[in-house]
Each structure stands twice: as structure tokens, then as C-alpha cells.
């Protein structure tokens, strides 16, 4: 398969693995509503935040939607990833310029996107999917990039979203009226889109002119173009008229099957019984939904102006000026309807105005679902004054034009990116808590998020592949002395929760001999030296 090359590619291919793990600290003063709802808003660099979230959510996300910078040269985005490359270090802290002014504009954008997409892939469930908004500036590069990361065989579609409802007559060339939404599955063999809800407009053509007790119905032609002599025969209408299939075609039913359909009142000859026969199709027998097409009209899913109006309605006039292409709630609702269930996790690591979180809250209110969102916004000013304020207003309600708008309920935790888990010498940071290190160790050892623990004061972290994992750290057993419960002794071993089978135990030291460790099926790993730090 052809591959995409750019300046800095070799330096960023493995950068997502080299990104240090950071702590996340929740700010209770900014958390809103039901903080235990499972919703999360994270303030901080999204590359570092994704790595920090990975031990808790790897393989748990059903739907990812991101709206990254389109790289038009007008967004004032800055490349700031700490990649160990002299070429890339020249870019740090500099605003990415416009086409013709910045010849490495696309290289920077690709270097920014690559590690983030690699991490996002790790969040997806096996039957999950990612949706990425983009325009024509970088759309072709993004498709090639995602082919490389997710696999070309997992490409689902390039959805066309009609983002504008009227042409721009001052356009220099053609009026740009659409964006792309690239869709990739984690595993296309098992990912299946949900059907979209049927609309009233779709059902308008269903009538019941003969008062059939089975309810509303529409009719379809009885003839087919695939010819078969057996199905080419005359039909006599109730009025006595003889009807033959159109030339070169035949009926879709055999003579015997036609009689069955007629007895069941499934053949319609018109109100006076003189028309060409048609098959009745009942609304009660059609699928509960419809398959999505790949062109989404603004009449169905909204447009940019609708998105700006939604934002201004909540936050006041001019709130939308921060974003060139905000996304309407109806657009994100369509994506979630297609790709997630009522209890799934939705992730957006370019949260911006917070539309994804708002949409999740709205859908949960409508159908009683328990969807959860994870949003990451890297710019403090936007996160605190736009993303946060919008979500808070959505949860609690707000006033617009002297009218009180009822809140949607729910809630979220507000977290900030904190210090690295390990210092520059790869020792455990002084502020690291047991729960932080426990989640990190379980994930880096097993590749899975740490299970929910009924007893947070237990050194037992959980099992994976029939192996039990333990952590002796920060006096988890109640002994805070320097050589107390953090050291593996016979007494400590006896106090540990039992696990039949292989055990991996992390601690500051071990006073058990090799024979005892082997007999007890224990692999001991010393803190901090045997922890995987990235």
C-alpha cells in the first residue's frame, strides 16, 4: 500500500509511546451537577491528557468524534509537542502560517495528528469507530494518515456534511459548502452502524385507503426486470381487466404465491380494482430505522449558523466568534445515533465549544440513557469560559431572552492535567497516590484498564489472564513506616487477599527467598525500577 511521507514523520511514529504519563487532578469547585455520572471534562494538552486517561479507558470507548484544526492557516494553532527531533524543535511555540507563507504547514499538522490518532485508536472498543471532521485543505492527507494508523481495510466512509445553507457569492472560485467526516472502525469485520430513527417525513407516504386492520401501508411494483418465463403470466384484476408484466420483465411472485398474497389482502389493484397490481408494504413490518446515507444535508443535521446560534443562546452574543466551524448538536447526535448505544462512552479530545458533551446530556435526557462523555480541551481560556460554561448551563439550565430554559440534568467532573507520574530520574513523583500508581501498573502490565475496586484500601488490583496483580505502596496495608507494609515479608504475604494462581507483586523490597516465591507462584517486581514508565 502506498504510504505518506513528510518532514518529521520518523520522529513522531513512536512518539505516543514516549509521551510521559501524567496525573489528573479533579477540581471539585468546578465539577458540576452529578459528579459521579461518569462524565469528564479535562483541561490540558490533549496529547498528554489522552496518555493520562489511557490506563482508565483503554478499549472502553465506543465512539470517538474529533474536530481538529483544519490547518487553513487562520486558526492560530501552535505546534508544541516535545518530540526529540532538531527539525521539529524549530517549530515549537510558533503559530502555523498560511499556505505560501509556511511551507512546512502540512508537515506540522501531520506531526501533530499522528501521535494523537495512535492514542485514540487504543481507546476504542473492538466494535468502536472514530469520526473525524476535516475540510479540503488536509482531507486527502488525513485519509492517507488514518489508512496507515487504523488500516485501509477499516475505512467505513467519507461522509459529506452540508455545513452551509446558502452559497457565498463573494467566493473567489467556488462556494465551499461542505465538510468531510472520515469514519474508520477499530475492526470493520465486527463494527455495525445503528439504524437511524425513522422520521415523520419518511412515514408520510404510508396510508390506509382500504382500512386494512394491519394499519398504514404503501405499495410497490409487482414487476421485476430479471426475466423468468415461469413468472411471466397474465393477471386478471377484480374488474376483469387482463394485465401482463411490462415487456422484457416478469412478476416477482409465482402464480401460487400471488394467490397467497391475494387471500391475505396484500395485493392492491387500486380503489376501483382496475389498476396494475402492486404489493402492499405495511409500516408495522418495516425496520425500526433506516440505513444512513453518506451525504448529510443541513436540513437533517444542522449547519454552522445553527451551531453558532446554539452557542450564543447559552453564552450570549459573540460567543461563537472563537470558532470558525462550530458543530451543531444535531450533527453530533447523528454520529452518536449511528455508532453508540445508551450506555456507551463517547470521547472528544478537541472539545472546543463542548457540543459533544451537550449532545450526550441531551440524548440521555430524551431517552433515559446513561451515555458518558470524555472531553479534552487544551486552551484554558476556552475550556473554562466556553466549554465549561456551556456544559454547566446545559446541566443546570439558563435564561435566554428572559425565558428560563430547563437544565438537562446529569453532571461532570472537571479535571486538570497535573504533574508527571514519574520525575526526570524515573522515580515515582512525591504527589502520586496509591490509586494513581495502581491504575498505571495494571494498565502497563496487562494493557487493560484497572477494574473497579470494591475495596480501595486493598493492595489487590485485579486479575488478567488468570494472573493476580498486587501493589505495596504508600502504606496501603496501614503500616506507614519506611520499611513497613511496602516491603514483601512472610507476614505481609499472609495478609494479602488470596489468589489461586500466578501473582505479580510490586513493592519496595522483598525478604522472601526464591524458593518461597516459586512455591507461592509469585513474580516480585521492585518499585520504582521495574515499572514501565511509558
CATH of region 9-194+290-418: 3.40.50.150
- Specify the residue for cell string 474536530: 67
Question: Could you read off the pLDDT of 257-267 as tens digits, one per residue?
Answer: 999 999 999 99
pLDDT bin (cut points 50, 70, 90) of residue 31 is very high
Q: String of b and e for 299-319 (b: at least 16 CB within 10 Å)?
A: ebbbbbbbbbebbeebbeeeb
How far apart, in whole angstroms, are the C-alpha atoms of residue 294 and residue 285? 25
Query: For residue 102, with 0-12 CB atoms within 10 Å meaning exposed, 13-18 middle and 19 or more buried, which class applies?
Result: middle
User: Residue 339's pLDDT is what?
Assistant: 96
Answer whether 478's CB lies under 8 Å from 503's CB: no
Candidate from 6-15, 278-287, 393-402, 488-497 with smallest mean pLDDT: 6-15
Q: What is the pLDDT of residue 450?
A: 85
Query: What's the pLDDT score for residue 454?
Result: 62
Q: How far apart are CA 475 and CA 481, in angstroms?
A: 8
pLDDT category, 100, cuts 50, 70, 90? Answer: very low
Per-residue model confidence as pLDDT tens digits over 456-514: 678 999 999 999 999 998 777 766 665 567 888 898 899 899 999 999 999 988 989 99
Domain boundaries, the chain: 9-194+290-418, 200-285, 421-526
Max Cα distance, the chain (Å): 101
Q: What's the mean pLDDT in 233-237?
A: 95
Low-confidence winner among 42-46, 92-96, 175-179, 242-246 (lowest mean pLDDT): 92-96
Check pLDDT > 60 for residue 273: yes
Q: Name the helix (H) or strand (E) containing 67.
A: none
Arithmetic mean of pLDDT, 357-373: 97
Closest CA to 392 of 25, 26, 39, 66: 39
Predicted TM-score (pTM) of this structure: 0.83
Q: How far apart are CA 110 and CA 104, in angstroms?
A: 10
What pLDDT is recorded for position 76?
Answer: 62
DSSP state for residue 402 in the 8-state scheme: T
What's the rounded Cα separation, in Å, for the pair 54 and 43? 16
pLDDT, tens only, 175-224? 788 999 999 999 999 999 999 988 888 888 899 999 999 999 999 999 99
Q: Cα angle at 11 between 8 and 17, to 5 degrees?
A: 140
Mean pLDDT of 372-394: 94
Distance CA 247, CA 266 (A): 24
Say how many C-beta atoms besides its own lie within 10 A of residue 36's C-beta.
Answer: 9
pLDDT of residue 150: 97
Confidence of residue 165 (pLDDT cuts 50, 70, 90): confident
Average pLDDT, the chain: 88
- What percentage of the chain reaches a pLDDT higher than 90? 60
CA distance 486 to 367: 48
Give pLDDT, residue 97: 53
Amino acid at each position: 500500500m502506498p504510504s505518506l511521507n513528510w518532514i518529521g514523520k520518523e520522529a513522531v511514529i513512536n512518539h505516543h509511546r514516549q509521551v510521559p504519563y501524567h496525573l489528573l487532578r479533579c477540581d471539585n469547585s468546578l465539577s458540576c451537577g452529578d459528579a459521579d455520572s461518569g462524565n469528564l471534562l479535562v483541561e490540558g494538552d490533549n496529547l498528554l491528557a489522552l496518555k493520562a486517561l489511557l490506563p482508565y479507558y483503554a478499549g472502553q470507548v465506543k465512539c470517538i468524534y474529533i474536530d481538529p484544526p483544519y490547518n487553513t492557516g487562520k486558526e492560530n494553532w501552535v505546534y508544541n509537542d516535545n518530540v526529540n527531533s532538531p527539525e521539529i524543535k524549530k517549530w515549537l511555540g510558533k503559530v502555523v502560517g498560511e499556505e505560501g507563507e509556511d511551507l512546512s504547514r502540512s508537515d506540522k499538522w501531520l506531526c501533530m495528528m499522528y501521535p494523537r490518532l495512535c492514542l485514540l485508536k487504543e481507546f476504542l472498543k473492538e466494535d468502536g469507530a472514530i469520526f473525524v471532521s476535516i475540510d479540503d485543505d488536509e482531507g486527502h492527507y488525513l485519509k492517507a494518515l488514518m489508512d496507515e494508523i487504523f488500516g485501509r481495510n477499516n475505512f467505513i466512509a467519507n461522509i459529506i456534511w452540508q455545513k452551509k445553507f446558502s452559497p457565498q457569492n463573494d467566493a473567489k472560485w467556488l462556494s465551499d459548502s461542505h465538510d468531510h467526516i472520515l469514519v474508520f472502525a477499530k475492526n470493520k469485520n465486527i463494527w455495525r452502524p445503528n439504524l437511524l430513527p425513522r422520521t415523520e417525513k419518511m412515514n408520510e407516504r404510508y396510508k390506509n385507503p382500504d382500512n386494512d386492520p394491519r394499519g398504514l401501508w404503501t405499495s410497490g411494483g409487482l414487476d421485476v426486470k430479471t426475466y423468468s418465463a415461469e413468472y411471466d403470466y397474465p393477471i386478471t384484476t377484480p374488474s376483469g381487466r387482463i394485465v401482463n408484466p411490462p415487456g422484457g420483465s416478469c412478476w416477482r411472485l409465482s402464480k401460487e404465491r400471488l394467490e397467497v398474497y391475494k387471500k391475505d389482502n396484500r395485493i392492491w389493484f387500486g380503489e376501483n380494482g382496475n389498476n396494475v397490481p402492486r404489493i402492499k408494504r405495511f409500516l408495522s413490518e418495516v425496520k425500526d430505522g433506516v440505513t444512513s446515507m453518506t451525504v448529510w444535508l443541513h436540513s437533517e443535521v444542522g449547519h454552522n449558523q445553527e451551531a453558532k446560534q446554539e452557542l450564543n443562546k447559552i453564552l450570549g452574543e459573540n460567543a461563537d466568534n472563537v470558532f470558525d466551524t462550530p458543530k451543531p448538536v444535531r450533527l453530533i447526535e447523528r454520529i452518536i445515533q449511528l455508532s453508540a448505544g445508551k450506555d456507551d462512552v463517547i470521547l472528544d479530545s478537541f472539545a472546543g465549544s463542548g457540543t459533544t458533551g451537550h449532545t450526550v446530556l441531551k440524548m440521555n435526557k430524551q431517552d433515559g440513557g446513561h451515555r458518558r462523555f470524555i472531553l479534552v480541551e487544551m486552551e484554558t481560556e476556552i475550556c473554562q469560559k466556553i466549554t465549561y460554561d456551556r456544559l454547566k448551563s446545559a446541566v443546570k439550565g439558563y435564561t435566554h431572552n428572559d425565558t428560563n430554559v430547563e437544565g438537562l440534568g446529569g453532571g461532570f467532573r472537571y479535571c486538570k492535567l497535573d504533574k508527571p507520574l514519574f520525575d526526570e530520574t524515573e522515580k515515582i513523583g512525591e504527589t502520586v497516590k496509591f490509586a494513581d500508581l495502581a491504575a498505571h501498573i495494571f494498565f502497563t502490565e496487562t494493557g487493560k484498564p484497572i477494574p473497579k475496586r470494591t475495596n480501595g484500601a486493598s493492595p489487590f488490583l485485579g486479575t488478567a489472564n488468570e494472573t493476580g496483580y498486587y501493589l505495596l505502596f504508600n502504606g496501603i496495608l496501614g503500616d506507614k513506616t519506611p520499611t513497613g507494609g511496602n516491603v514483601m515479608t512472610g507476614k505481609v504475604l499472609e495478609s494479602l487477599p488470596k489468589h489461586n494462581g500466578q501473582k505479580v507483586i510490586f513493592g519496595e523490597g522483598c525478604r522472601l527467598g526464591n524458593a518461597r516465591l516459586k512455591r507461592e507462584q509469585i513474580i516480585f517486581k521492585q518499585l520504582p525500577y521495574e515499572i514501565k514508565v511509558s
